[in-house]
Structure 1
Amino acid sequence: MNYLNDVLLGVIEGITEFLPISSTGHLILAEHWLGTRSDTYNIVIQAGAILAVTLIYWRRLMELLFNWREPENRDYLAKLTVAFLITAVLGLIVKKMGFELPTTIQPVAWALVIGGFWMLFAERVADRQADNSTIFWRVAIAVGIAQIVAGIFPGTSRSATTIFVAMLLGTSNRAAATEFAFLVGIPTMYAASGYELLKQFTSGSAQSEDWTGLGIAFVVSTVTAFIAVKWLLGYIQGHRFTIFAIYRILFGGLLLTLAGLGVLG
């Protein structure tokens, strides 16, 4: 791949990783025209998006860590920790079971479509509830489980799954649900990326990478994700997630059509 492809893939990863539209589906489509990427490449550009979200929530993270003695912060940290540990333990179990991700487009496309309708349903349920920013224990536990569900079924979108589980279980305030989902995602995705990257270096697979291209994609992914998430956090202050649900349904339908025509394998 030339460096323009690295820029394009960085942009796609940055926009789609944390918006509730599934990065997997978009990257599969991009790979069809831009070429298949290595596991190391996937991990590195995803790390760029994680870094962007870390920078956005840096003050919030520092507040939680340095003021952990405050009851409210201690309670929030405890729930973040439990959600992360649930994901970590279940993730290790899934790994030990030898679970393999789908390699064809149809499961991802169907997950996009079904997830879009599920988002529309969840929005209607949340609208009937009183506005609530509280992160309940049931929300923390469910978000931890939801991260694994999103990992097992590519196309569901980790952000969409966790945000809407939180909203359905009582954290009806979109901003509060999104913040918790993203904060849980930071250690989860760092841990997963670090684990996978270590495996790549240990096996020697990473030695053959074009690190200049990877560096370009990483930087572009970081900058693009920063802009995308900043925009999202402002957008949801006064809007529903409906636009993302409709987009998922249309995009998933497009992928299914292309697969049916034999354009995508």
Structure 2
Amino acid sequence: MDYLQAIILAIIEGITEFLPVSSTGHMIIASSFFGIAHEDFTKLFTIVIQLGAILSVVVLYFKRFFQSIDFYFKLLIAFIPAVILGLLFSKKIDSLLESPVTVAVSLLIGGIILLKVDDWFNNSSETEITYSKAFKIGLFQCFAMIPGVSRSGASIVGGMSQKLARTSAAEFSFFLAVPTMLGATLKKCYDYYKAGFILTDDQINILIIGNIVAFIVALLAIKTFIGFLSKNGFKIFGYYRIVAGIVLLLIHFFIHPLTII
């Protein structure tokens, strides 16, 4: 991976991490086009730069992270399902991360769901998140272990299914990203450390630049997304996912196979 590729992937991460379009799916596709997706460092990079993106949540919602201890208990409860399933099915998840076709199909199916979400939950208007709602949102987030299923999209839909307003569901999804992405990053780093993977100075610099870029872009993306979502809903993201999924499948089967391994 060179610096330009790292910056492009970081921009993709910053834009897509908090949009219901799947940041992991987009980075898998982009890195496969670059021909670097099979590299161990690339797989590490796509996880670690999520730290930069989630740091933007802490900065934008700084006061909310110090509102009450109850807030942290709700995040913990929502985080537990992902921890359990992640530990149980980590190898299966890693194998799915090597399938651009899985990403394309997930984009397509998720897009169809997003076209219907506003109609399904058009009466969702509550703002209070109970412990029960937090846990159920955490269960929905687990669908994002399938590449191409957006973590933010799954958790936002989970929130709306519990009658939360779109903006309240989106904000809780942002907050939930902090422990989820932090946990995923630490686990991946530990796995690579145990395997004896040693970073070069150049790779460390690439990780630093990637996190900075992802942080800056994510700041802008979150501000834009909340305003857009409250006014327009999910349909445009649904159409985008459907088009992206179809295009990727056409490329894979009729033009050139998208391979990672």
Question: Given the two structures, how large is their TM-score scaled by the length of structure 2?
Answer: 0.88
User: For residue 33 of structure 2, what is the amino acid of its counterpart?
Assistant: W
Label 1:101 to 1:145 Cα distance change in 2 as closer, same or farther (>3 A): farther
Q: 5+ unaligned residues in a row in structure 2: which ranges?
A: none
Deviation at 1:158, TM superposition (A): 0.4
CA distance in 2, matches of 1:240, 1:217: 30
SS in structure 2 of the partner of residue 204 of structure 1: coil
Distance 1:111 1:130, change over 3 A: closer
Q: Give 2:102's aligned amino acid.
A: P
What residue is the counterpart of 1:161 in the other structure? 154
User: 1: CA distance between counterparts of 2:147 and 2:84?
Assistant: 19
Which of 185, 192, 201 is 2:177 aligned to? 185
Q: Quick one: structure 1 residues 222 and 35, their matched pair in 2 at CA, closer, same or farther if it must change by over 3 Å?
A: farther
Q: Which residue of 2 aligns with 1:210?
A: 203
Alignment of 1:220 onto 2:213: yes
Q: Deviations along 1:7-36, whole A, 9 cap, x unmatched?
A: 111111111111111112321221133232
Aligned residues: 252
Find the aligned partners of 1:98 and 1:254 in 2 and give their Cα distance.
26
- Whether the 8 Å contact between 2:27 and 2:46 is mirrored in structure 1 is no
Query: Is the CA contact 1:138–1:169 (under 8 Å) kept in the aligned structure 2?
Result: no
Distance 2:217 2:210 in 1: 10
Amino acid at match of 2:108: V
SS in 2 for 1:132: coil
Matches of 1:214 and 1:163, distance apart in 2:
29
Q: Is the 8 A contact 1:139 1:170 kept in 2?
A: no
Q: For the structure 1 residues 82 and 252, does the alpha-carbon distance in structure 2 shift closer, same or farther, using more than 3 Å as the test?
A: same
- Give the Cα separation in 1 of the matches to 2:116 and 2:50: 29
Aligned-pair identity (%): 34
Residue by residue, what CA displacement relative to the aligned partner does 1:182-231 show, whole Å, maximum 9, x if unpaired?
A: 21221111111112112223323132462222222121111111111121
In structure 2, C-alpha distance between the alignment counterparts of 1:143 and 1:261, rounded to whole Å:
38
Q: What CA distance in whole angstroms lies between the structure 1 residues aligned with 2:226 and 2:36? A: 32
Amino acid at match of 1:160: G
Whether 1:89 and 2:112 are equivalent positions in the alignment is no
Do the aligned residues in 1 keep the contact of 2:114 with 2:238 (CA within 8 Å)?
yes
| Secondary structure, aligned partner of 2:213 | helix
Superposed displacement of residue 130, structure 1: 5.1
Matched position secondary structure for 1:238: helix
SS in 1 for 2:120: helix
Match of 1:71 in 2: none
Question: 2:240 is matched by which residue type in structure 1?
Answer: Y
Q: How does 1:88-127 map to 2 (within 5 A)?
A: 88-95=83-90, 99-102=93-96, 103-127=98-122
Aligned to 2:17: 17
Contact 1:87–1:147, Cα closer than 8 Å, also in 2: yes
How far has the Cα of 1:58 moved from its partner? Answer: 1.6
Question: Is contact 1:136–1:170 with CA below 8 Å preserved after alignment?
Answer: no
Gaps of 5+ in 1: 69-73
Whether 1:44 aligns to 2:38 is no
**Among 237, 241, 250, which residue is 1:244 paired with?**
237
Is residue 87–residue 145 contact of structure 1 (8 Å, CA) maintained in 2?
yes
Q: 2:125 is paired with a residue of what secondary structure?
A: coil
TM-score by length of 1: 0.87
What is aligned with 1:259? 252
Q: Which amino acid aligns with 1:18?
A: F
Cα contact 2:144–2:154 (8 A) shared by 1: yes
Determine the C-alpha separation between the residues in 1 that align with 2:132 and 2:248: 35
> Whole-Å Cα distance in 1 between the matches of residues 99 and 226 of structure 2?
32
After superposition, what is the alpha-carbon deviation per residue over 1:69-105, rounded to whole angstroms, capped at 9, x for unaligned? xxxxx3x44322211123222322223x755432222
